[in-house]
Amino acid sequence: MGFSTSAAFAILGVCIFVCLDILSSSFLPSLSELNTSYKYMEKRMVEKLNTDIDVIDITKTSGTTYNISIKVKNTGSTELDVSDFTVIVNGTIESYSTDKEYLYPLDIVNITVTNLTYTGTIRVKVVTGNGIGDYGTYTA
């Protein structure tokens, strides 16, 4: 009885050690990835909280096919990549051109949208890359 009890404890000990090794080799990398994801999410949330823009002016050229110029001011504290912006005119995403690549805090960028044909009171929304936006209207 002495040898079989010792052998059983040895076998159980080795099995527990192997199970713990398998569990830790799959669990620890997942825990590390989860921690990295939470840090990335926290960074995005802080960036979003510090982002704010203001559509300060919209001007329109004359004609049936016209262009609009939208002046947008960065009233937040983060630098914004203007190529990540989305410009929505009357519910339709429009292509645009800008006079600057980056919009620094308290700076103004001029966004130009061409070949528009909408009439009446038109609503324009400018959205940053991280989802913060502002509205403006003009009459065509």
**Average pLDDT, integer, range 62-82:** 94
Whole-angstrom CA distances from 18 to 3, 6, 14, 23, 116 are 22, 18, 6, 9, 69
CB atoms within 10 A of CB 92: 9
Question: Is a pLDDT exceeding 60 seen at residue 1?
Answer: no
Question: Is a pLDDT exceeding 80 seen at residue 4?
Answer: no
90 shares its domain with 134: yes
74 shares its domain with 135: yes
Counted domains in the chain:
2
The pair of structure tokens assigned to 140 is 């065509």
CATH code at position 69: 2.60.40.10
- Average pLDDT over the chain, rounded to whole? 91
With beta carbons less than 8 A apart as the criterion, state whether 118 and 90 touch.
yes
- The larger pLDDT score, comparing residue 16 to residue 22, is at 16
59 shares its domain with 128: yes
Query: Could you tell me the residue range of the domain that residue 59 belongs to?
Result: 52-139
Question: What pLDDT, in 10s, does the model give residues 74-130?
Answer: 999 999 999 999 999 999 999 999 999 999 999 999 999 999 999 999 999 999 999
**Average pLDDT, integer, range 36-58:** 92
CA distance 122 to 140: 7
- The separation between CA 81 and the C-alpha centre of its own chain, rounded to angstroms, equals 11
pTM attached to this predicted model: 0.75
CB atoms within 10 A of CB 54: 14
90 shares its domain with 127: yes
Nearest to 108 by CA among 70, 60, 61, 59: 70
pLDDT band at 11, cuts 50/70/90? confident
CB atoms within 10 A of CB 109: 21
- The larger pLDDT score, comparing residue 103 to residue 26, is at 103
pLDDT at 127: 97
74 shares its domain with 125: yes
